[in-house]
Structure 1
Amino acid sequence: MQQVANFGFPIVVSIYLLVRVEGRLEHLSCSINDLSSVILRLKEVIVHE
Structure 2
Amino acid sequence: MEIIETLIANVGFPVAVSIYLLIRLEAKLETLTSSINELSTNIINLKDSK
Same fold (TM over 0.5): yes
What is the aligned length?
42
User: 1:30 — aligned with what?
Assistant: 34
RMSD over aligned Cα, in angstroms? 1.6
TM-score using structure 1 length: 0.76
TM-score (norm 2): 0.75
For structure 1, the 5+ residue unaligned runs are: none
Q: Give the share of equivalent positions with the same residue, in percent.
A: 55
Runs of 4+ in 1 over 6 A off after TM superposition: none
Larger CA Rg, structure 1 vs 2: 1
In the other structure, the counterpart of 2:17 is: 13
Query: RCO higher in 1 or 2 (8 Å CA, sep ≥ 6)?
Result: 2
Gaps of 5+ in 2: 1-7
